[in-house]
Structure 1
């Protein structure tokens, strides 16, 4: 018996800018776009070609003895390799040259020139390869934030997390499973920052993560040439079914000043959200000054206030009236 129903991500074909902006983008839901022109990369990007064009530029990579990488507990190490050597190793299942063990897994998330200040941009870091990849014109040029190489060994699985910008994940070679969860299911994902503590989403520890089964699981398999639209705040978990090369394109869908200017990765919470979370932390510290029963009572009042202001008021009609009775039970569980 499956823990969660698998809801297929809808597939769209013959999508151009007008169709995307009219029929797909306003829905704010994941969509798999098939048949979009991604350029000659689909035919050219073999391991040999990537190594030749990418050259010996040094890249910082994740290396792990197990394919299920865990960012919260850091079960990997960072290493540096020439790009051509990295691609060669990542495409292998057994390695004659290795850091930790002969079947170690590799993952590259490309970085900007100055990793502390500049977002990744294929046209700057890998200009010869960038010419092969056509970024879909589904957003205005001034909204562009970054284009990121995602290259991983077969079997490599990345932790569940969300991004604060809209993005497109283009699968150029290999196949990749992507599982997604709605922002509305955040309370069931046991968050630590922008990441879920539920590392194994296929066989979760339900004694620790009992609420996880309530999260609705959206799923798709990306094939070469597919493009997955991932709206901001949608959680996603990827599993490389084969050695694969992808390009992740992010763009600013909110006004530019909504984002942290010192964020080259594009994963820091919007400025206003960060302020709100900091204020919440101060409020929780203030609650600690109260006796337990007062802390519990005013904590519940805070939850109701947040629900009514941030969620209920966004609804209309009967949904708004019913909102006060629909707060997930996890928040009102009596710890005593």
Structure 2
């Protein structure tokens, strides 16, 4: 297993893990990790573009299409289109297109949806039952914790916006190679958030005049190869770049009590119920401060910040403990070593 290391081009150490070791070290420590060699099933050999097109057939799918490979959800620099699955796979696996919506080098992205997109999470076994037979969901959680299995297909070069999810998930890379960049939840204040997404679209060449704090966010990086499995803990920010035409499956599960989550959330990215209430209460408190003069708003706003800092776990750690927590190489683990 790789333990994700910080750095612009991280070199990761490798070891094969048993389920118990993975749970003890990655799930418990809330750290991303790449597992090499898990049993994902015959999908690793079968899921060529031709095979996928044959199995998916004329089933219609809703896809993202963009004239540029760097997709931006906040400003919607893409359009939604509908294609038959076999035509979508054909186009997504091409570099230049004879048939296209926007331009001959447009990029395609599929994120599978539930039957009722407003109510039901994606489930590979329901949307693509023939393909689901080829994919074995890793058993790192109890069956009743399962939330969704999301089928993803990307054109080569496609990059998705930086965001976080509120559930733990495993990203299985079945075909192609994909770069994944991650940021810790502790760096949220440096990522210029709008909801669950970062406003910093270009993480490789960020506009530091607009986003000067972004340089303070520690970058973690890995490259997934076919058969790799990436554990992304809840609240960890991630940004993906398809280095090749690729197919993957995301498996999400509820690691908190079921009633912690918004029951009307089919995507698994709405904040937990208690967090939503807290954020709403904060907005009401800020509106209340508007009744005061500017210098009073500033003073009591700073007092509110101080109260929040005292209540957060990491701000209560000693400086030594914080330093140890920031060291993602985990030197005490016999399964990891500095790259």
Instruction: Decide: shared fold, TM above 0.5.
Output: yes
Q: Which residue of 2 aligns with 1:166?
A: 168
Contact 2:163 2:238 in 1 (8 A): yes
Displacement of 1:9: 7.5
Displacement of 1:213: 0.5
Alpha carbons of 1:52 and 1:312: their partners in 2 closer, same or farther (altered >3 Å)? closer
Tell me, what secondary structure is at the counterpart of 1:13? coil
Q: Which residue of 1 aligns with 2:8?
A: 6
Contact 1:147 1:249 in 2 (8 A): yes
Higher relative contact order (CA 8 A, sep 6+): 2
Q: Structure 2 matches for 1:295-310, cutoff 5 A?
A: 295-310=297-312
Residue-by-residue CA offset, 1:234-284 (whole Å, 9 max, x unaligned): 000000000000000000000000000000000000000000011111111
Displacement of 1:84: 1.0
1:109 is aligned, of 96, 99, 111, to 111
Contact 1:61 1:109 in 2 (8 A): yes
* Structure 2 CA distance for aligned equivalents of residues 141 and 89 of structure 1: 36
1:266 is aligned, of 238, 262, 268, to 268
Q: Which residue of 2 aligns with 1:55?
A: 57
Contact 1:107 1:150 in 2 (8 A): yes
Tell me, what secondary structure is at the counterpart of 2:62? strand
* Structure 2 CA distance for aligned equivalents of residues 46 and 317 of structure 1: 51
1:65 aligned onto 2:53 = no
Residue-by-residue CA offset, 1:205-256 (whole Å, 9 max, x unaligned): 0011111001000000000000000000000000000000000000000000
1:78 aligned onto 2:80 = yes
* Structure 2 CA distance for aligned equivalents of residues 7 and 303 of structure 1: 35
Q: Which residue of 2 aligns with 1:329?
A: none
How many correspondences in the alignment?
A: 317
Q: Which residue of 2 aligns with 1:227?
A: 229
Residue-by-residue CA offset, 1:153-188 (whole Å, 9 max, x unaligned): 000000000000000000000000000000000000
Alpha carbons of 1:11 and 1:112: their partners in 2 closer, same or farther (altered >3 Å)? farther
* Structure 2 CA distance for aligned equivalents of residues 165 and 12 of structure 1: 26
Q: Structure 2 matches for 1:1-336, cutoff 5 A?
A: 5-6=7-8, 8=10, 10-311=12-313, 315=317
Displacement of 1:12: 4.7
Tell me, what secondary structure is at the counterpart of 2:264? coil
* Structure 2 CA distance for aligned equivalents of residues 19 and 311 of structure 1: 26
Tell me, what secondary structure is at the counterpart of 1:180? strand
* Structure 2 CA distance for aligned equivalents of residues 290 and 8 of structure 1: 49
* Structure 1 CA distance for aligned equivalents of residues 102 and 252 of structure 2: 33
Contact 1:9 1:32 in 2 (8 A): no
* Structure 2 CA distance for aligned equivalents of residues 307 and 239 of structure 1: 34
Alpha carbons of 1:53 and 1:13: their partners in 2 closer, same or farther (altered >3 Å)? farther
Q: Which residue of 1 aligns with 2:334?
A: none
TM-score by length of 1: 0.91
* Structure 2 CA distance for aligned equivalents of residues 168 and 80 of structure 1: 27
Point out the more displaced range, 8-17 or 33-42.
Answer: 8-17
Tell me, what secondary structure is at the counterpart of 2:313? helix
Residue-by-residue CA offset, 1:296-329 (whole Å, 9 max, x unaligned): 1111000000110133575369769xxxxxxxxx
Alpha carbons of 1:270 and 1:123: their partners in 2 closer, same or farther (altered >3 Å)? same
Tell me, what secondary structure is at the counterpart of 1:228? strand
